[in-house]
């Protein structure tokens, strides 16, 4: 973890310097597991700081095994999960896998973990999903256990979901005191939990009961509200937390206003279907959203600077399909 005064990670005016995250799933659209390693190597060549793997039961590689392979196939890019579903693995087992990857990668792991949200996957696998409250309490216990085991400490824990008796964390990680932990969330309870435990918080949009993303949460104003919740919950820890967000759509164009107008028309027609239109947005709302990037490379870079200025978020992620499109923006922001 770092402090706000660390010149290697912060600008002269106290803002965190930008970092950039790519990712992949190893699914058929990406060329399958065989081309997965090449995807990560390409991200490293482009200058991305991290390469992250999600965690689903569907058409993708197993994240921990894949990170083990990438620890040997890459040399500088940091390796991350975005994010592991807590209910899939016991924290004692996960801690050992995580510190092993950290050792093998020579200290490049960022462990992202969340409560899990796709009930269908849990049901298909015969794994108990639980209520939202149960999943948050379970994650709270997991994060407490992971923090200690990944430091190499001996853990005794008697909780609602986990009981551990005299287990010593091993192997000791390459990073000290432990690999950074990332937690993502959009709702108040998850953001508060992340503020309690995480070194990195992924500021996500909230979802409806049906699992659709709330359109209102994609605005810069709602994003600032979520960051303010983190700031309030974290207290003195806030300056030690790095804030991340993922750009959902990148369109390189010489007419960003026309592109925003097209996006609004698509929303009116119900596309994409995973968006809940709970508010009517304007062109300005679209162009200032942290989660949408329209314009020339220079305009996108300037938009990202403005997002950081207004929110303090500095760790920019992109989806696998957007990795090539965003790559030319990285040199424009590198070192800032």
**pLDDT tens, 76-113?**
999 999 989 999 999 999 999 999 999 999 999 999 99
Would you tell me the crossing angle of helices 132-149 and 91-104 to the nearest 10 degrees?
Answer: 50
Please state, as a whole number, how many other Cβ atoms lie within 10 Å of the Cβ of residue 45: 11
- DSSP string over 33-45: GGGHHHHHHHHHH
303, pLDDT greater than 60: yes
Share of the chain above pLDDT 70, in %: 97
Computed over every residue of the chain, the mean pLDDT equals 93
Confidence band of 5 (pLDDT split at 50, 70, 90): low
Q: Which two three-digit tokens encode residue 264?
A: 């609004």
CB 200 within 8 A of CB 241: yes
pLDDT, tens digit, 9 for 90 and up, residues 186-228 = 889 999 999 999 999 999 988 777 667 888 999 999 999 999 9
Burial call 84-105: b when 16+ CB within 10 Å, e when fewer: bbbbbbebbebbbbbbbbbbbb
User: Helix (H, G, I), strand (E, B), or coil: what is residue 156?
Assistant: strand
pLDDT > 90? residue 33: no
Q: Return the structure tokens found at 279.
A: 């508010």
Q: How many CB atoms lie within 10 A of CB 265?
A: 10
Q: Where are the domains of the chain?
A: 19-332
pTM above threshold 0.85:
yes
As a whole number of angstroms, the longest Cα–Cα distance in the chain is 62
Cα–Cα distance for residue pair 305/217, rounded to 1 Å: 20
Question: Higher model confidence: residue 68 or residue 214?
Answer: 68
Per-residue pLDDT tens digits for 248-288? 999 999 999 999 999 999 998 888 888 888 889 999 999 99
User: Is residue 243 within a helix (H) or strand (E), and if so which, with residue range?
Assistant: strand 242-247
**pLDDT level of residue 4 (50, 70, 90 thresholds):** very low
Residue of 86, 33, 275, 254 lying closest to 263 (CA atoms): 275
Segment 67-79 shows an average pLDDT of 97
> Counting beta carbons within 10 angstroms of the beta carbon of residue 267, is it exposed (0 to 12), middle (13 to 18) or buried (19 or more)?
middle
Q: Is the pLDDT reported for residue 40 higher than 90? A: yes
CATH number for the domain formed by residue range(s) 19-332: 3.20.20.30
């Amino acid at each position: 973890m770092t402090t706000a005064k660390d010149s290697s990670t912060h600008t002269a005016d106290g803002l965190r310097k930008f970092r950039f995250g790519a990712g992949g799933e190893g699914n058929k659209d990406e060329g399958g597991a065989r081309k997965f390693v090449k995807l990560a190597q390409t991200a490293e060549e482009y200058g991305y700081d991290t390469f992250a793997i999600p965690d689903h039961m569907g058409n993708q590689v197993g994240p921990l095994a894949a990170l083990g392979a990438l620890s040997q196939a890459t040399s500088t890019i940091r390796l991350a999960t975005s994010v592991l579903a807590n209910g899939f693995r016991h924290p004692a087992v996960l801690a050992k896998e995580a510190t092993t990857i950290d050792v093998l990668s020579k200290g490049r792991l960022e462990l992202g973990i969340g409560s899990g949200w796709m009930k269908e996957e849990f049901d298909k696998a015969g794994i108990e999903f639980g209520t939202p409250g149960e999943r948050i309490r379970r994650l709270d216990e997991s994060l407490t256990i992971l923090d200690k085991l990944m430091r190499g400490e001996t853990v005794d824990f008697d909780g609602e979901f986990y009981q551990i008796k005299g287990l010593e964390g091993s192997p000791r990680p390459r990073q000290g005191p432990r690999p950074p932990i990332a937690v993502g969330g959009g709702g108040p309870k998850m953001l508060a939990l992340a503020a309690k435990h995480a070194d990195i918080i992924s500021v996500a949009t909230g979802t409806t009961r049906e699992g659709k993303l709330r359109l209102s949460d994609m605005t810069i104003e709602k994003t600032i509200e979520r960051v303010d919740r983190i700031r309030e919950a974290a207290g003195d820890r806030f300056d030690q937390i790095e804030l991340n967000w993922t750009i959902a759509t990148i369109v390189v164009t010489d007419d960003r206003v026309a592109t925003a107008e097209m996006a609004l028309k698509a929303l009116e027609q119900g596309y994409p279907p995973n968006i809940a239109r709970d508010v009517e947005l304007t062109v300005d709302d679209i162009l200032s959203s942290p989660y949408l990037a329209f314009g020339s490379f220079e305009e996108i870079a300037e938009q990202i600077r403005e997002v950081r200025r207004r929110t303090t978020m500095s760790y920019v992620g992109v989806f696998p399909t957007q990795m090539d499109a965003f790559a030319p923006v990285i040199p424009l922001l590198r070192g800032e």
